[in-house]
Amino acid sequence: MKPAAFEYAVPTTVAEAVALLASRNGEAKPISGGQSLMPVLNFRLAAPTLLVDLRHLPDLDRIVVEAGGTRLGAKVRWRDIEKSRELAAGQPLLCAAIAHVAHYQIRNRGTVGGSLAHADPAAEMPGLAVALDARLRIIGAKGERMVEAGEFFTGPLSTVLEPDELILEVLLPAWPASRRWGFEEFARRRGDFALAGAAVWFDTDAAGCAQNAHVGIIGASDRPRRLPAAEMALNGKALDAATIAAAVAAARAALDPMNDIHASADYRRALAGTMVERALKAALAR
């Protein structure tokens, strides 16, 4: 398949890019790495009349790890995350999870902003943004706004982004070195989208009990989400076998996945629980 005809622009400023996006009444689309958008265009699932290529926009490929938190520009690629020593030390859960994204050709082009805007419920970056309490800095014709990742995704391939809006960067809270974490996913082949995955983290109090537990799920819901019931099963508890079993049961009970060609709903629900269990055990062993 080939895409429908489109015009193509390569702006050199964010203001110019936003103006171009706003000029077509929803018929213009940004393109970043093209790894999700080009298949969509080739199958004619979308037919924008203008593609606004972000490649020459300055400063959006920056990774900044500071005491106050981490900033990932929208054009940061999976490969950039993989290579960053600052991120390996400052955001270890992010790095471990991004290692599961696709194959190296795609990893050389696919970007943080593109993945968030595409909003695949099984993709790692949207799930991480939600599990890590990220905020997204967004700009459009009406100006800038910040959106909590937990409120950004509205369904499969759907977000709160307006057609004239661009993601500029993602802000992640600081990550204490003592934090316990685990990431586990299951895909049929290495690099495939996960059938289900879990990102978990928690801090520990003086008695060694979990505090501030976060349990995030990908692939088993219509959007990436946290599971508050599973988090409640962990908070204030020592992570023994009974606590982990209670969190897994709460996770499974909270999920209502769809049947699809890759897996039944029951299989995904069971698998998601198993991913939570493995991620918690990995967090304890780490």
Binding site for ligand FAD (CB under 6 A): 29-37, 54, 74, 101-102, 106, 109-111, 113-115, 117-118, 123-125, 161, 166-167, 191, 193
- Residue-by-residue DSSP string for 33-93: S-TTHHHHHHTTS---SEEEE-TT-TTTT-EEEETTEEEEETT-BHHHHHH-HHHHHH-HH
Q: Which residues pair with 30 in a beta bridge?
A: 52
Smaller CB distance to ligand FAD: residue 32 or 243? Answer: 32
Smaller CB distance to ligand FAD: residue 26 or 191? Answer: 191
Judge contact between 18 and 164, C-beta under 8 A.
Answer: yes
Helix (H, G, I), strand (E, B) or coil at 108: coil
Smaller CB distance to ligand FAD: residue 77 or 252? Answer: 77
Rounded to the nearest whole angstrom, what is the least distance from the CB of residue 142 to ligand FAD in the complex? 15
The first and second tokens of residue 283, run together, are 């967090």
CB-CB neighbours of 125 under 10 Å: 30
Rounded to the nearest whole angstrom, what is the least distance from the CB of residue 27 to ligand FAD in the complex? 12
Smaller CB distance to ligand FAD: residue 114 or 182? Answer: 114
Rounded to the nearest whole angstrom, what is the least distance from the CB of residue 57 to ligand FAD in the complex? 9
Rounded to the nearest whole angstrom, what is the least distance from the CB of residue 134 to ligand FAD in the complex? 14
Q: Which residues pair with 7 in a beta bridge?
A: 50
Question: Distance (Å, rounded) from C-alpha 27 to C-alpha 138?
Answer: 19
Residue type, 256: D
Smaller CB distance to ligand FAD: residue 221 or 243? Answer: 221
CB-CB neighbours of 211 under 10 Å: 12
Rounded to the nearest whole angstrom, what is the least distance from the CB of residue 237 to ligand FAD in the complex? 32
Smaller CB distance to ligand FAD: residue 96 or 101? Answer: 101
The first and second tokens of residue 153, run together, are 């995704």
Rounded to the nearest whole angstrom, what is the least distance from the CB of residue 158 to ligand FAD in the complex? 11
**Which phi and psi (to 5°) does residue 211 adopt?**
-135, 150
